[in-house]
Amino acid sequence: MKRLFGTDGIRGRANVYPMTPEVALKVGKAVGLLFSNNSHSKGRVIIGKDTRLSGYMLEAALVAGICAMGADAYLLGPMPTPGISFITKNMRADAGIVISASHNPYWDNGIKLFTSEGMKLDDELEARMEELITSEKIDGSPDKIGKAFRIEDAVGRYVVHLKQSFPEGKTLDGLKIVVDCANGATYKVAPMVFGELGAEVVKMNCEPDGFNINENCGSTCPEPMAKRVVDEKAHIGFAFDGDGDRVIIADEKGNIIDGDDILAVCGIELKREGALPSNKVVSTVMAGKGLEVSLGREGIELVRTRVGDRFVYEKMVELGAPLGGEPSGHVIFKKFAETGDGILTALQVLWVMIKHGRPLSEIVAERSLRFPKVEKSVEVSEKKPLEDTPLASVIEKADNECKAMSGRVLVRYSGTEMKLRILVEGEDELLVEKIASFIAEQAAKYLS
């Protein structure tokens, strides 16, 4: 049977298996059973969501399942994923649930789970959840039924937490910031945080209607935000994704700053502050060669993991590394959070700018080296093992070409979508584009 859990929880088309009320009900029951009675007489489960229309449907089913097992559900409403992680830990709850498909279009949705510590489930817990969800029967007791409550002050708690990550006594006075909230979960929190710290905030895509989440906006489409920064003569711009756990930045000139640049800027800052005790920064196999070289010049080792921010966090804990993330803009500052947080990341970058009194373009130019890189996606009908397809020899030949120009090829299936991801980088920009296009053509021929 196909596994329910992918790279980041359960995800798919809303109202189509596995993102149906029936499956959500079973997830609720499994969470109620697995996480109850850890520290309370009744299990306590936090539930938050992004702004997709299907969130109402899945939320109701999850609540029914949780209460059927005798646990209590605490509803936050629309809230960024890292905010749900924080509230779960802050309220001493037994588990947290996020209803979101992150950067995907509105017609998709997903379910992500957090432990009482605000961390994503490890492989063992996912396997236990999967077994319970797919079992034929999970019965509750007629004399043990839970309740549902709405937490009205969740946004305020999270805003305070974010502001506390910014140095005490410091403000954003005098800064003009463009904020693109992707019509998603950050639409209320992000402008509030930057505004309360003193910035002049120019809002974009902060009017969710259930359908416009991530639609030509946010971290997957940051160009309009970058243009607005230039038009408004702003100092910086931030584009978040639908659930707020990632951010893509534009400097004052409209240049796009991705997760690799953020890790270079902040990793080098931590090293110079004496706050990088392991001299290691963690990212995934998707991290660019330029990041590796940039950090290496400062005596910092880049450690790579498989794709997924939970794998990044696990490696950070193992190595004692305070910083990790992904090129997509998922960045984890372990001092403040157990998962990627777009708003928190934005605040850390702002602090580097303020501390040095320099525009972001200058800081990035000094600290972050970029190799020409091309990324492409190809939709596939099924995820055949690549080694069993003619594409394997195409990839091997392309990789050898790239190694000759200090580059590399990485081809893998998406963990959340029916797509093949292709990454090619090297010193020759034209050759990189040519190789990436050829691999994409061949992938379409053999896999679509």
Q: Catalogue the active-site residues.
A: 102
Residue 353's closest CA among 342, 339, 364?
364
| CA atoms of 101 and 94, how far apart (whole Å) | 23
| CA atoms of 220 and 243, how far apart (whole Å) | 12
Backbone angle region of 406, left / alpha / beta, with phi > 0 → left and psi within -120 to 50 → alpha: left
| CA atoms of 113 and 79, how far apart (whole Å) | 14
Residue type for position 267 = G
Burial 118-137, CB ≥16 within 10 A → b, else e: bbbbeeebbeebbebbeeee
| CA atoms of 112 and 107, how far apart (whole Å) | 17
| CA atoms of 167 and 169, how far apart (whole Å) | 6
For residue 281, the cross-strand partners are 302
- Total residue length of the chain: 448
- CA 165: distance to chain centroid? 19
For the chain, the C-alpha Rg in angstroms (whole number) is: 22
Residue 33's closest CA among 1, 71, 4?
71
For residue 235, the cross-strand partners are none
Distances (CA, A) of 413 to 6, 35, 376, 381: 11, 32, 12, 12
